[in-house]
Amino acid sequence: MVNQSVDTYEGSAPTPRDRRRIVDESGRDAILFNVDSSEANKIKLWDLVDHTWTGPLEKSMAMEHYLAKVVFKCSCCTEASLHEGDIEKHLVQLKSGYESHREAELHQGIGEGGQINLTCTGCGTPMSMRKNQGTKHIERICSDYDAHVKAGTIDVLLTHKYATSPSVSMPEQVTNTVIFKGEQPEVDRVSRSVDDRTRKRRRRKRRSR
Amino acid sequence: MATGLSLSSTSNLTNGQRIIIASAKEAFEPAAPDPDLIESERIPTGSKQWDISTYARLTDAQALTEGVDLSSVQQLATNTLQLTPAEHGILVTLSNRLIRRQGDSSVVTVAGRQIGSSLRRRMAKDVISLYDGFSKSIVGTTAAIDITHFRGAVAYLLSDNNANFGPAPMPLHAALHIEQISDIIADLSDPGTSVGRDGYSAELMQRWWRGSDKLYGIPIFHSGNIQKDSTPDAKGAIFAKEALYMVIANDSDVTEEDDNSLRAREYGIFQEWAEGERADPHGVEVFSDVTATV
């Protein structure tokens, strides 16, 4: 802007008569007009996967291309993919991630040049201390897993990626259903292993009399 | 007569004191590299639309048996992107009196620079809107990007996942919010990570990310017009250059017109373009936390 205090009028280009009126009313010396004719031809779409609005998209492109987009989606989280089978892989990854991280902790060591470094003992990834990255990394893997275990039954949905608004319900189809069973709690597992242990019967020594 | 000490603000003495008006500064325009990161075509005069077709790949050739006719015939198929350029522009009307009076700067020059920047910003924002359209998304809300996400995204793009488009061709580009870049720098330069005090890590500690700097072979650009939402998260992208297309109908058309009855002069800049997504599997949206570090 030429001057921050100058009023801005947006819309189609006004007629000379309107411009004179605007100049007279504003009492200012400079007027800025935005005449972007493409703006009226753009719409925002609601992203059904991450639940956010898109940026303004050209209307015909939005209607013909973006509204027609379908993705495979996990019914429990925002994981989505263009490719069949990816959601099943996502569930396998969640499970294997949890198995390697359920007892993971951040190992603090002395690295090159005497610097302190943090490593996740679950996957060996070096972690930044910034934004509590290491703790979040472990917590996220475990909480994602827990959320899926709580859901129990996970549907792989073939669904539209976009809608014109959050209130519009788009058709979706369940292509696969996965029973996502969690592991038994640690306490139970340990006690079961104790119970299951085969006990040797003690032989009584016969006393030879 | 008044008595007492005479101060600089006493009575009408300020009338004799000069005010120096410095040359006016302009708001700094953020980097808008996005239109240069995607494929761009120029539509010739006399045409109204640009269609870009992509042939899908055929299935694998079959092993044959001598004397047995190959009966199944493969058919060619295309995906088509149609782009029809639309007009974009901005107009500034300066009164003749303003042009005469303004002493701290040449308002005509300032207006010219500002409308040029405005048009470029519009073009960059149109491209940024396309980043959200990629079906594959990494990181997720409230989580910060790290280099593992980046490495995974590059591997995803280079994987042959899609019969219609195949793996993403080089070059790949990344356009990110500055806090996303900051998270990557933290991973690469934090003394707690695997990188040491030497080499790239040390360089990043001394300077900052530059436009040409690469991670896993992919140049990352600071896209100054990517907005953060209220969470705050932002949406950048890693994509093949050919994944997105821009079609431009003309050079920017600069106009100047006198309006004598208004005693004003009108300056405008106009350009026609359209942008679109050619290959969804050739891009990954980077949707991540951009909470400021300080």
Domain boundaries, chain B: 34-53+80-289
Chain B CB contacts of A48 under 8 Å are: none
Report domain extents, chain A. Answer: 8-35, 43-185
For residue A3, what pLDDT is reported? 43
Q: Is B258 helix (H, G, I), strand (E, B) or coil?
A: strand
Q: Identify the pLDDT of residue B147.
A: 86
For B256, the 3-state DSSP assignment is: strand
pLDDT, mean over chain B: 89
Residue B164 CB neighbour total at 10 angstroms: 15
Does A166 sit behind a cis peptide bond, omega within 30 degrees of 0 on the bond before it? no
Look at residue A111 in the predicted model and tell me its pLDDT.
65
Alpha helices in B193-260 (DSSP H): 199-206
3-state secondary structure of A134: helix
Examine residue B30 and say whether the peptide bond preceding it is cis (omega within 30 degrees of 0).
Answer: no
Per the structure block, which two tokens stand in for A164? 């014109």
CA distance A94 to chain B (A): 14
A58 in B contact zone (CB under 8 Å): yes
Residues with Cβ < 8 Å from A156, sequence gap 6 or more?
A: A72, A73, A74, A75, A87, A88, A174, A175, A176, A177, A178
Q: What is the pLDDT of residues B25-78, one digit of tens each?
A: 888 988 899 999 999 999 998 999 999 999 998 988 889 999 999 888 889 988
Tens digit of pLDDT for each residue in B157-166?
Answer: 999 988 889 9
Which of A21, A29, A120, A143 to mutate: most B Cβ within 10 Å? A29
Note whether B277 contacts A69, CB cutoff 8 Å.
no
The C-alpha of B283 sits at a distance from chain A's nearest C-alpha, in angstroms, of 12
Does residue A135 sit at the B interface (CB-CB below 8 Å)?
no
Q: Is B140 on the interface with A (CB under 8 A)?
A: yes
Average pLDDT for B115-129: 94
Phi, psi torsion values for A145, nearest 5 degrees: -65, -45
Contacts 24+ apart (CB under 8 A), A132-141: A133/B144, A133/B146, A134/A106, A135/A106, A136/B143, A136/B144, A138/A101, A138/A104, A138/A105, A138/A106, A140/B143, A141/A94, A141/A97, A141/A98, A141/A101
Note the pLDDT of residue A186: 41
Burial class (CB in 10 A: 0-12, 13-18, 19+), B283: buried
Q: Is B251 a residue whose pLDDT tops 50?
A: yes
**What angle (nearest 5°) sits at the alpha carbon of residue B270, between those of residues B264 and B275?**
155
Both structure tokens of A22: 């605007």
Q: Does B264 touch chain A (CB under 8 A)?
A: yes
Number of H helices, E strands in chain B: 6, 13
Q: Which residue has the higher pLDDT, B270 or B190?
A: B270
ipTM computed for the complex:
0.79
CB contact under 8 Å between A113 and B196, yes or no, is: yes
Q: Give the predicted TM-score (pTM) of the model.
A: 0.80
Residue A21 neighbours by CB under 8 Å, 6+ apart: none
A123 contact B CB<8A: no
Angstrom CA distances, A83 to B77, B156, B163, stand at 19, 12, 10
Tell me if chain A has a CB within 8 Å of the CB of B192.
yes
C-alpha dihedral, A11 to A15 to A18 to A19, nearest 10°: 80
Measured in angstroms, the CA of A192 and the nearest CA of chain B are apart by 38
pLDDT by residue for chain A (209 residues), tens only, comes to: 344 444 555 555 566 667 666 666 666 565 555 555 556 788 999 999 988 899 889 888 899 899 999 999 999 998 899 888 889 999 998 898 998 888 888 888 776 666 677 788 888 877 766 667 788 888 888 888 988 988 888 999 999 999 999 998 888 899 999 888 766 434 333 333 334 444 455 555 565 54
User: If contacts are CB pairs under 8 Å, which of residues 61-80 in chain A contact chain B?
Assistant: 61, 65-66, 69, 71, 78, 80
Task: Look up residue A14 and give its two tokens.
Answer: 């006004």
User: What's B56-122 look like in SS3?
Assistant: CCCCCCCCCCCCCCCCCCCCCCEEEEEECCEEEEEEEEEEHHHHHHCCCCCHHHHHHHHHHHHHHHH
Position A198 scores a pLDDT of 46
